Amino acid sequence: MLSYLAQRFLTLIIVMIVVTMIIFGLMHAVPGGPFSQTQQPLPAFAMRNIEVKYGLNQPIWLQYLKWVWAALHGDFGIPFEEPTETVTQLISKAWPVTLAVGAWTIVISYVGGIALGLISAIRQNTWIDWVLTSFATTGIALPNYVVGFLLIVVFAVTLGWLPTGGWGQPQDLILPVIAFALNPMALCARYTRASALEVTHADYVQMGRARGLSEWRINLNYVLRTALIPLITILGPNIPNLLTGSIFIEATFALPGLGSYFTTAILRRDYPMIMCLVLIVAVLWGTCYILSDVAYTLVDPRIRLAGASR
């Protein structure tokens, strides 16, 4: 297992190098640069001065190598979007907000979603199942900014219980987390139901019943265990997703988080910011994929990963 992990992390680093190359080329290939949003076309000489100042006149490969060299020294540059801080400062300020919202969202949506999904599966094709399925589907079909809007209307404006948005007090978390959690919770419930049903009728579960194991023990030991495989596959990558935030949630609730930068950096062609965010994404997702593969073997020891070729 250890050598397997070492091999995976090593390949992850190689993948990351390839990905940064791809992104670096890609973002320069996309039309427009960080300074092409002016109303009037900048005179050519003025544009040149700007390009020289930011080193954008150099060949791409040289810019890339310079970026790699600086990044290896922990210097990710200064974002064009918020140039009064370094990329590192900006991210270290914005990410904690996103992480706080994301962590609560993960806890609530996964615990709630798995519980609802199991209930749905155990009470399959009863009215409880149908109500829960309808709820879950609505949760999937409603965009989270609409949910956020409705929450603000009900709880902030009409009832006046919670703030319309902002950051700093604990109650600022409540509405964003609910709005953010609804969709993953619904997803979680749907997958739990589907995979739980795959196994409730399987032979070994029936065998367990025959052996006189109590129903809850069967549900917990057999059903949940196997049901976890698709949960890990699909909901695992949802964790980095939730930890990097949502521009919609952040805009609706005026949260100074990181989520919006994933979009604005690209739209603004903010090269240093794009590169740093890509690294974050790469590390998070790469690790997540490795961990989910490891988790398969923990959940179901029959699963073999490395050298399983036949």
Candidates 64, 76, 104, 248; binder of other proteins (CB under 8 A) is: 248
Q: Is 32 in the site for other proteins (CB under 8 A)?
A: yes
Rg (CA), the chain: 24
Which residues from 80-99 bind other proteins, rule CB under 8 A?
A: 80-85, 90, 93-94
Interface with other proteins: number of residues (CB under 8 A): 123
Nearest to 67 by CA among 25, 95, 34, 33: 25
Q: Is 211 in the site for other proteins (CB under 8 A)?
A: no
Q: Is 116 in the site for other proteins (CB under 8 A)?
A: no
Listed in sequence order, the DSSP H helices in the chain are 2-29, 44-53, 60-72, 87-122, 127-141, 144-151, 174-200, 203-210, 215-218, 225-230, 238-243, 247-252, 259-267, 271-299
Q: Is 300 in the site for other proteins (CB under 8 A)?
A: yes
Q: Is 153 in the site for other proteins (CB under 8 A)?
A: yes
Cα separations (Å) of 98 from 122, 142, 207, 256, 263? 35, 21, 46, 8, 15
Q: Is 63 in the site for other proteins (CB under 8 A)?
A: no
Q: Which letter does DSSP use for residue 142 in this model?
A: S
Candidates 86, 105, 109, 195; binder of other proteins (CB under 8 A) is: 195
Which residues from 9-28 bind other proteins, rule CB under 8 A?
A: 11-12, 15-16, 18-19, 22-23, 26-27
Which residues from 252-291 bind other proteins, rule CB under 8 A?
A: 252-254, 256, 259-260, 262-264, 266-269, 274, 278, 281-282, 285-286, 289
Q: Is 177 in the site for other proteins (CB under 8 A)?
A: no
**In this structure, is the dihedral angle defined by the CA atoms of residues 248, 249, 255 and 258, taken in order, positive or negative?**
negative
